[in-house]
Amino acid sequence: MHPKTLLTVAASGLAVLCLAAPAGQALAQGKIGVVQIERIVRDSPPALRAQKKLEAEFGKREAELAKAADQLKRQQDELEKDSVTMPEAQRRNKERDFNDLNREFQRKQREYREDVNQRRNEELGQVIEQANRIIRQIAESEKYDIIFQEAAYANPRIDITDKVIKALDAKPPAAQNDMPGPFTLAQIVSRFGGRIAGDPDVLIQQVGSLERAGRGQIAFFSNSRYRDRLAGTGASALILAADAEAASALPRIVCDDPYSYFARVSQLFNPRVLQAAGVHASASVAPTARLGARVSIGEDSCLYPGVVVYPGCRIGARAILHAGAVIGADGFGIADDAGQWVKIPQTGGVAIGDDVEIGANTTIDRGTLEDTVIGDGVKLDNQIQIGHNCRIGAHTAMAGCAGIAGSTEIGRHCRIGGGAIVLGHLTVCDNVTISAATVISRSIRTPGTYTGMFPADEHASWTRNTAVVRQLAELLERVRALEKRIEGKEKSDG
């Protein structure tokens, strides 16, 4: 019988696991262990690496605060020394200046502490998550009935902390998936070239998109129609071309081709993930089945034979995935670098809501940076392609062989006919119906039905009509020329 999982809270304030025996089982006859969580978050190799990472990330701000504190101390000493002999008006001005500087220092110090605490909790949370997995594995493999954390006293015979710490640093070569870095802009440029405008010591931890990137992330800008997103980005740095250098005051890498440069940087932070082989002992799967890591499937969901769910994908409750559906394959992300295609790592996932049905052989690509999102109640027919970074609104339905190109957003309660195509980077508003075989090449802002088909005909007739269509532009120019000649003749006759 597998242990029951209980959630407790460590002294650090982070959630940790304590494994307990099922109710009614005599603990006195069972196997008991103790884990000192405080040691794990202080002494384990992942915790020490996290501490070094935080020191590198916040070292510059800490030094700036220390310098500001020294400056305030000097001003305070000078003010106290000279206040007796100083004219009243001058003293009040100096006191006001000092108080303004002190308030600004206190604000920066408070923000620094909040940021440090948040990042420390994020980093140590990952350490605790790894430790929890290892504790579960030890408990199951070595038949522990209960594992306590933070005991007042523990006999070394039952203390498994050293075992957990050792396991935290003992990853098999095939599972080395840790993200490298962080890197400064100067270090990135030393690898890939380009020119830095702004602070070269800005620390970058990951890539991000213009609209969703946060502190520690670098985004790229290469299309003028996204200039509004550039103004509001939360990224710490940008990759852009020389003709766009003045578009932002953020630290930036200036290069010839921002898109291919971004592909290289993304590869730097997201090396190819090598999954560890095997199936966990607690899993109930067919002997021939193969499961990737970090797969999450909601309650009452049904995956038929042949469904493939890649790592990092989430499937909500009551979902139905028919045979051959592929969730989370890489999107078609490549950049042209001097005639060679450079793969852009697809680091997002796929997030599928509740009550979604996905037809046979339908494919939903993982996002490049953020998740591809399928809203609640979406119904997808067979052999549909959903490109990377798409967002499909709740209760939208698509018929077979429809294709939605990457980075397109489809609204709620839309109906898309069979064989319809929506080109990339477009927006379709709520309550839109797209007729079968229609190609949508522009964003749709108004609800309604949209149709664009060339009707079938007897072949010879269709060929003649198609030839006329090809000449429409030329015929239009000729008609316009005739209209001008007629208008000129009428004026001269008048």
User: The CATH number of the domain where 388 resides is what?
Assistant: 2.160.10.10
Indicate if 153 and 97 belong to the same structural domain.
yes
81 is a domain residue? yes
Nearest to 440 by CA among 403, 389, 387: 403
Reported as a pLDDT band with limits 50, 70 and 90, residue 169 is confident
Average pLDDT in the 286-310 region? 69
Q: What is the CATH number of the domain that holds 216?
A: 3.40.1390.10
Indicate if 302 and 252 belong to the same structural domain.
no
Final residue before a domain boundary, out of 105, 138, 170? 170
Indicate if 160 and 248 belong to the same structural domain.
no
CB contact at 8 A, 405 and 392: no
Indicate if 97 and 236 belong to the same structural domain.
no
| Sign of the alpha-carbon dihedral angle for 161, 121, 117, 9 | negative
Which pLDDT value is given to residue 221?
94
75 is a domain residue? yes
124 is a domain residue? yes
With a pLDDT cut of 70, the percent of the chain lying above it is: 85
Nearest to 140 by CA among 273, 44, 282, 334: 282
Indicate if 316 and 345 belong to the same structural domain.
yes
Indicate if 446 and 473 belong to the same structural domain.
no
Tell me: pLDDT of 17 over 50: no
384 is a domain residue? yes
From the number of C-beta atoms within 10 Å of its C-beta (0-12, 13-18, 19+), residue 92 rates as: exposed
29 is a domain residue? no
Indicate if 396 and 441 belong to the same structural domain.
yes
33 is a domain residue? no
- Other Cβ atoms less than 10 A from the Cβ of 393: the count is 21
- In the block, tokens 């899993």 appear at 283
Residue of 2, 280, 322, 388 with catalytic role? 388
Q: What is the pLDDT of residues 197-226, one digit of tens each?
A: 999 999 999 999 998 899 999 999 988 888
Final residue before a domain boundary, out of 251, 269, 287? 269
Of 295-309, 364-378, 397-411, the range with the lowest mean pLDDT is: 295-309
Final residue before a domain boundary, out of 269, 284, 312? 269
359 is a domain residue? yes
Count structural domains, the chain: 4
Cβ-based neighbours of 96, under 8 Å, separated by 6 or more? none
Q: Is 413 a catalytic residue?
A: no
Per mean pLDDT, which of 227-231, 283-287, 407-411 is the most reliable?
407-411
Reported as a pLDDT band with limits 50, 70 and 90, residue 398 is very high
Coil, strand, or helix at residue 220?
A: strand
457 is a domain residue? no
Separation CA 110–CA 247 (nearest Å): 31
Indicate if 424 and 310 belong to the same structural domain.
yes
Indicate if 157 and 201 belong to the same structural domain.
no
The CA radius of gyration of the chain, in Å to the nearest whole number, is 31
Indicate if 230 and 314 belong to the same structural domain.
no
Average pLDDT in the 41-63 region? 85
Tell me: pLDDT of 103 over 80: yes
Rounded to the nearest 10 degrees, what angle do helices 45-82 and 88-141 cross at? 170
Amino acid identity of 18? C
Indicate if 162 and 247 belong to the same structural domain.
no
**Average model confidence (pLDDT) across the chain:** 83
Bridge partners, residue 365, by sequence: 329
> pTM for the full model?
0.56
User: In terms of DSSP H, where are the helices of 201-257?
Assistant: 227-231
Indicate if 191 and 333 belong to the same structural domain.
no
**Residue 242, domain extent:** 183-269
Reported as a pLDDT band with limits 50, 70 and 90, residue 298 is low
Run of H or E residues at 8: strand 4-9
